[in-house]
Structure 1
């Protein structure tokens, strides 16, 4: 019985040793602990590799997306900027703005006559002559308060020698709330001074003679301005004691001792400002009275 068990144990031991040798051979000479350790390292390495690959992919994707988006944004931005600049350039070109504009304050500037303005006035308020050229004139852009107190944009053409005076005076008038009904180029009235006065339009340049004479007006040189003319008429005196009032509808404003709105007298702000800038006022004249008129030599 003992011999039988001994043989069984020997056989079992042989089987165990054989299995151990076979397992070691299959594990390429590694022990089970060594095999497990090596698999753990491979697993970690594999995990790291996957992680790195994923991170690299994400980074690449993100960078690629970022670059693409950035390129698109830059391209879009550049395109918008170019389009915008082209648009500005286009409209500036179409509007024919002068390149020598002098800005006195927001809304108040002057410069050489833009091409579209030259086209507008040629043959109307301006004709070819030997006394004044287009280059002697300046286009003034300004703001004013209308009779309702609303801000309006106005435009005047004047001699280049008084352009700075004009924008300074009108800036002070505007800032003080002084009211003017209309400030348009006389070309809006086909160069007709009477029509402009009847519309109570304030204007400056108009190549014309003094009414009733052959003498060139200071307006022909852009050196005179008529302000709120309907309320401040031009009055001449006849030998028989009668008067001529222009525009005719303004006769009710001939009597300057009366009080009425928009009357220009020596205490009027506009009168004070124009005189301070070296202008003469037609209301100070003796042989005629031109209450709307300010001129400078």
Structure 2
């Protein structure tokens, strides 16, 4: 056998070995794709069923046992009913107000406190930081918090959903770590030029903190939008209930959704379709906001959580 034949044989053997070695890897990748596809179906399936049920008619819902996988004759009548100016529309306005105002107030309080705690040499820095950390592990409890809210005259007020929870210790710590990672030379140069702390915070720190502000703002917005327990405790007037408490009333307590026959001339939609329509409406706002903040979310959380 010549040297050339030996080289060709070795190359073929190497290719065969490489091919055989890739076969288990390809099978593993295929198994991963199948497993992830099944997981996606389990996650997406309930959402599809909820949307399909909200569009289905009473006959199909009855045949499906209360849930429909795909509507045969889709109709938006359930959404027309809940948007006729009744309790659901009013609750959406309440939730929007609480979410927007609460997020703005929470971001303001959290960023100011985090910036103050990030500044070296601040008076009582360690004491205040320890006080913030203590609130992460110990809570005042339901009854003392209720009495405090009552003492401040916030019962049956929308501000009772915002003021007691306007600052989160975890978010303060994460934002403080982010501020500490900012280049110190920027603030030192601003101090030399005569800028005060508020000027530095507003003109230098905040423009550089868009990722962490987007991440923390998303945390606060989701918390305010999904909150129902504090509303259940502090709001006795049902006209001030947020959408999540109204949703709980219809889904958990099985309350009947009122249908205005003067507005809806045709056959009214079944109650399961109305309940699923309210559920879809309660999910849409956060689902629409999240994609615009997703690019900042990971960057903000990783930067704020790692020191150095």
TM-score range, shorter chain: under 0.3
TM superposition score normalised by structure 2: 0.24
TM superposition score normalised by structure 1: 0.25
Higher share in helix: 2
